[in-house]
Amino acid sequence: MNHVRRPWMSRGVLAATLTLMMVCTLPIAAQWMKHPDPRTPRTPDGKPNLTAPVRRGADGKPDLSGIWNAIDGRYLTNLAKPTGLVVPFQPWAEAVFNERVANEGKDRPSGFCLPHSVPDAMLIPGYPWKIVQTPGLTIILFENFTQYRQIFTDGRNFPTERNPAWFGYSVGKWDGDTFVVDTEGFNDKSWLDDAGHPHTESLHTTERFRRRDFGHLDIEFTIDDPKTYSKPWSVTVPFELLPDTDIIENICENEKDAVRLRGK
């Protein structure tokens, strides 16, 4: 799997993917790596002002649009650990989780060119994602594996006929200044994080997006899957805006890094 490395990524093994892959440093394409956005508020010296007030749309709601990036790999490594949360596993799920930790996650889907999902696709530092907010539809574009999510805000409900999907089916609404996204209809193939928290097709996630200021976004992820966990559990993850840039193509190339898997 060949990755285009960004300047803000650390060298060596990408921390967010643990020991799964050795990622080579490749030349970076020139396109869109530095493009000053005239809509970005700036300090007197011309730098982006990440603490400026939130920009709002014509409807008065916060505009969530932008390129967002996980601050570090802590939540990807283990979604619950940074907050000290004790995850309320069902017995079978705890056994699966412990096995994945013990074998260093050698069977994680992304190691075989399969997608990340919710929430782990958003937790990979150095692989940002882009929110495009429009009336009736909010889109999330992921640089990692060049994937996307559609969040419908036109009042529709979940489809009555659907195939289980990697990213599920998402509908959103506003609760004051908080954008609330409910997603269901997942398949059971993805992991919630790189540690290997499992889920079934009964998974329902609720995400609460709140843009604190121009450059900072908090998302509370609530995991509700009674077949896997004895009660819902929640974690709030901070994200930072990457100004004056854009996402670029990133393709998983037929498991070329599978030979480097270190799991037992």
Question: How confident is the model at residue 142, as a pLDDT?
Answer: 97
Q: Is the dihedral of CA 15, 236, 132, 193 positive or negative?
A: positive
Homologous superfamily of 15-32+55-260 = Calycin beta-barrel core domain (2.40.128.20)
Rounded distance between C-alpha atoms, residue 185 and residue 262, angstroms: 32
Question: How confident is the model at residue 97, as a pLDDT?
Answer: 98
The bridge status of strand 137-142 relative to strand 147-152 is antiparallel
Q: Enter the pTM of the model.
A: 0.86
In the block, tokens 């999330």 appear at 140
In the chain the beta strands, taken as DSSP E runs, fall at 66-70, 129-134, 137-142, 147-152, 169-175, 178-184, 204-213, 216-224, 233-241
Q: Where are the domains of the chain?
A: 15-32+55-260
Question: How confident is the model at residue 261, as a pLDDT?
Answer: 60
Question: How confident is the model at residue 262, as a pLDDT?
Answer: 58
Rounded distance between C-alpha atoms, residue 250 and residue 128, angstroms: 11
Question: How confident is the model at residue 251, as a pLDDT?
Answer: 86
- Tens digits of residue pLDDT in 137-160: 999 999 999 999 999 999 999 999
Question: How confident is the model at residue 2, as a pLDDT?
Answer: 37
Low-confidence ranges of the chain (pLDDT < 50): 1-31, 264
Question: How confident is the model at residue 242, as a pLDDT?
Answer: 96
In the block, tokens 């649009």 appear at 65
Question: How confident is the model at residue 235, as a pLDDT?
Answer: 98
Asked if the peptide bond before residue 36 counts as cis, ω within 30 degrees of 0, the response is no
